[in-house]
Amino acid sequence: MSDQVLSFTDRGIYCAAGDFYIDPWRPVDRALITHGHADHARSGHKRYLCTEACAPVMRHRLGDISVETVKFGETRKIGDALVSFHPAGHLPGSAQIRVEVAGEVWVASGDYKVVPDGISEPFEPVKCHSFITECTFGLPVFKWDDQAHVAHDLNAWWAANAGEGKATILGAYSLGKAQRLLSMVDPDIGPILTHGAVENTNAVLRAQGYHLPDTVHVTPDLNPKDHPGALIIAPPSALGSNWSRRFGASSTAFASGWMRLRGVRRRRAADRGFVISDHADWPGLMTAIKETGAENIYATHGYTDIFARWLKTQGYNAQVVPTEFGGEDDEAEEAA
């Protein structure tokens, strides 16, 4: 492994040539951030660098921080390293970070998905020698359905609930997943209500120009009877809580890639599970890796051991790298 491009330390992914870290989990002087989820964008760093589209969410979540921004595709020289950010397709503003030192190119992908979702900047393959990849869903069983089919099922479920006089409560992570679902639902079915964690994030993204349907913030004085047949979007831990019980008779669902596994659906104790994820599925991971042209693959979080072994059978120089990044479940619970 070249210590002149990227190396793996107890603080995070480090570039000695530029003296910076990518998504570090311990406080550092200079942090390059792929996206605003809490396991990748942490507080305590002296200086942050991220995409223009990522910065507002980071300020919303982390407060008064020193943030410098770059456009997608813009090359920045940091020390002896050339750095650029490229769309990761994970959520609005998310990026892969390309680092070049003396002609050797590495890409740290953060979290990503290769299928466009209608709201995030679509994934852009980046050629490199070494690719650092998540593998949250790095097993062949994880294969996502077409988003249009999921949207059809979601809207049919909501409409059926509304017809029966029930509220519809959908659990989804407040940054990324909730906005994606909002872009998929049909506002003509009924009103859309949102938990404060979701609505606050909506406001940040709307201010940047991302289009979302009209929503109503659920405040303590809101009367559910004034919004019959409503769809309520909230962080997953709000399901089954006093907060959700205020809506009376309801049907609940959880939206996650983990819904592909029956055991997880049962443990969630929701009426429905919609299989939709902002992470790449097995075919997506294979596509992304192939399109980079990289020979060296570093698996950072997910089914790392199994995934790396499979890649070795396909001729890649693959290895597992321990990090403190989480997966989709961690993101969902963090936001509640």
Tens digits of residue pLDDT in 169-215: 999 999 999 999 999 999 999 999 999 999 999 999 999 999 999 99
Q: Which pLDDT belongs to residue 53? A: 97
Please identify every stretch of the chain with a pLDDT value under 50, giving residue numbers as ranges: 1, 330-336
Judge if 89 and 159 occupy the same domain: no
Cα–Cα distance, 112 to 123 (Å, whole number): 7
In a domain, 2, yes or no: no
Residue-number span of the structural domain to which 291 is assigned: 7-141+278-334
Judge if 167 and 263 occupy the same domain: yes
DSSP 59-86: HHHH-S--EEEE-TT-EEEETTEEEEEE
Q: At what angle do helices 177-184 and 196-207 cross, to 10 degrees?
A: 80
Q: Which pLDDT belongs to residue 333? A: 39
Judge if 321 and 198 occupy the same domain: no
Which one of 274, 305, 323 terminates a domain? Answer: 274
The DSSP letter of residue 26 is: S
Q: Which pLDDT belongs to residue 1? A: 43
Judge if 181 and 257 occupy the same domain: yes
In a domain, 42, yes or no: yes
Q: Which pLDDT belongs to residue 167? A: 96
Judge if 154 and 268 occupy the same domain: yes
- Reading the block at residue 128, the tokens are 């490199």
Q: Which pLDDT belongs to residue 331? A: 44
In a domain, 1, yes or no: no
Domains held by the chain: number: 2
Judge if 69 and 157 occupy the same domain: no
Q: Give residues with Cβ within 8 angstroms of 238, minimum separation 6.
A: 169, 171, 195, 244, 336
Q: Which pLDDT belongs to residue 326? A: 81
pTM greater than 0.75 (yes/no): yes
Nearest C-alpha neighbor of 288 from the set 112, 92, 55: 112
From residue 198, how far is each of 33, 90, 131, 238 by CA, in Å? 22, 17, 33, 12
In a domain, 176, yes or no: yes
Cα–Cα distance, 196 to 331 (Å, whole number): 17
Q: Which pLDDT belongs to residue 3? A: 61
